Amino acid sequence: MSHCIDDGISSVRFGTIVLNDGGYDAQYDVKVARKHLHPNFTDGYKANGEWLFANDIALLELEKDLEYGPNVQPLRLPQQDVPTPINKTATLTGWGYLDAFYDEPLTLQKVNLTVYPYNYCDRYLSPPFDPAQNLCAGVSANDQGQCSGDSGGPLVVDAVQVGIVSWSVKPCISAPGVFTRVSPFRNWIRAVSGI
C-alpha cells in the first residue's frame, strides 16, 4: 500500500507464521531493491480523524526471488477491470492488532470475510469510499476483520488476490474494512513489473 511505504522500509519478511519471543529468523528477510508507489496516490484527512486514500497501491521490487515452500506460494491476479466477486467468501491474512486495545499477535492471523455489495459498503462507509477503486468486506457479527497493522495484506477469493487492505473505521471492526481493488490497477502492475 502506498500509504505505508516510506523510506524506512528496506526489507520484507516472508514465510513467517510464528514470532518467537517477539523476534524472527533473519533468513526470512529479503531486501527491497525499489519501491513503486502509484503515481496518482493521494491521501487525505477526514473530519472525524480518519485517514483516507486514493490509488492506494504500491509494488516492492525485491533484490532476489522468494523461495517457494509450504508457507510461501504465489497468488494469481485478476484481469484488468474484472468486477469484484460480491457475496463471496474471501480470506484475509495479516499481523494487525487483535482488538481495539492494540494487542499484537505472535502468530499470523487468518479470517474469512464476506465481500459486500457496494450499496452495503456505502451505508457504512460514506464517501470517499470509491467503488471504482475500493471494495469492502467483513463478517456480520462485526467481531473479526482487519485492523491497524494489516495494511497491505492480501484479500483472496478462490486463489485470486482481489483486494489489498487499505483503511478501516476505528475502532476496528466497527464497520466493514476497506480494501483497494486489484483489478483496476492490473495494467499498471503489468507495466511496472512485467507480470
37, 12, 146, 79 alpha-carbon torsion, rounded to 10°: 50
How many DSSP H helices and E strands does the chain contain? Answer: 2, 11
Which domain, by its residues, includes 83? 2-193
Question: Nearest 5 degrees, angle CA 97-CA 99-CA 105?
Answer: 40
Q: What is the CATH number of the domain that holds 79?
A: 2.40.10.10
Residue 162 contacts residue 84 (beta carbons within 8 Å): yes
Tell me the C-alpha distance between 192 and 165, whole Å: 21
CA-nearest of 151, 46, 23, 178 to 97 is: 151
Cβ-based neighbour number of residue 97 at 10 Å = 19
pLDDT at 64: 94
Calpha distance 9→56 (Å, rounded) = 17
Structural domains in the chain (count): 1
> Would you place residue 124 in the very low, low, confident or very high pLDDT band (cuts 50, 70, 90)?
confident
Mean local confidence (pLDDT), 19-27: 65
Q: How confident is the model at residue 6 (pLDDT cuts 50, 70, 90)?
A: low
pLDDT at site 42: 83
pLDDT-derived band of residue 34, with 50, 70 and 90 as boundaries? very high
Q: Kindly indicate the confidence band of residue 18, based on its pLDDT and cuts at 50, 70 and 90.
A: confident
Mean predicted confidence (pLDDT) in 112-140:
88
- In the prediction, which pLDDT does 11 show? 83
| Residue 158 pLDDT grade (very low, low, confident, very high; cuts 50, 70, 90) | very high
Q: What is the mean pLDDT of the chain?
A: 86
Task: Write the CB contacts of 112 (distance below 8 Å, at least 6 apart in sequence).
Answer: 89, 90, 91, 92, 139
Please state the rounded mean pLDDT for residues 102-109.
87
Task: Look at residues 60, 189, 185 and name the one whose alpha carbon lies nearest to residue 133.
Answer: 185
Of 168 and 91, more confident: 91
